[in-house]
Copies of this chain bind each other. A is one copy, B any other.
Amino acid sequence: MNSVKIKPRAKTKSKAPYHHGDLRKQLVAAAEEIILERGVDGFTLREASRRAGVSPAAPAHHFKDARGLLSEVALLGFQEFGDALIAADQRGGKDPQKRLYEQGLAYVTFALKNPARFQLMFAHGKCDMRYKNLGEVAERSFKVLESAVRAASGLKPADDMTEDAYGLLMANWSIVHGFAHLALGGELDTPAGGRGGKGAILKSFLPLTLKHLPARR
């Protein structure tokens, strides 16, 4: 056999060059794969290296450490998440109640469709909020919610948040976040007519719950 050595990472390429060329992106992709397959806790940096076809020390040149790579994944997640929330908010038009409802729908939908990413984004200590602009990007999602709550509370954009408005904000956030967390933990599968997977949860349980989204009082 006339040795044509295979580059492990590329589909059909020449010789496995010493330099990967696209490692950073592939590490991120591998990380997303892994947390999807094995959960956030199942992630290992060495496995990501393996899937990218490099040595365990290679990632250090692109990310400070394992948390760095996970933080990058979270960053991308929060970007998509924020976009989804903004789009939902706009679907709500001028009705604050509808804005909150659409946001809640989008919040949980994102969580159930991107379970691993969502768990990572809100896991305690898994990623470093000082990584790049992760903190700001996460804050952006928060602001979308705050904006709708301000409208629902009759506040103008420049006004300070009142205590009541802040209570409304926390209540709205809590209910959708709690629902997402419980659903992802399988906590909503057991009782009564559960089962049916994420689809059933989104289609039947979620609307039943979002009916109770707190409005201004």
Contact = CB atoms under 8 A, between A and B. Distances in A.
A178 interface: yes
A176 interface: yes
Nearest to A142: B191
A174 B171 contact: no
Contacts of A146: 191
A178 B185 contact: no
Task: Indicate how many identical chains form the complex.
Answer: 2
A197 interface: no
A188 B169 CA distance: 11
A41 B125 contact: yes
Contacts of A171: 175, 209, 211-212
Interface string A5-37: 000000000000000000000000000000000
Interface of A: 39, 41, 119, 122, 124-126, 139, 142, 146, 160-161, 163-164, 166-168, 170-182, 184-188, 190-192, 204-205, 208-209, 211-212, 214, 217
Nearest to A208: B167
A175 to B, nearest CB: 4
21 contacts: A39-B124, A41-B125, A41-B126, A124-B185, A146-B191, A161-B192, A166-B192, A166-B205, A167-B209, A170-B179, A170-B188, A171-B209, A174-B175, A174-B176, A174-B177, A174-B182, A175-B178, A177-B181, A177-B182, A212-B217, A214-B214
Contacts of A208: 163-164, 166-167, 170
A212 B168 contact: yes
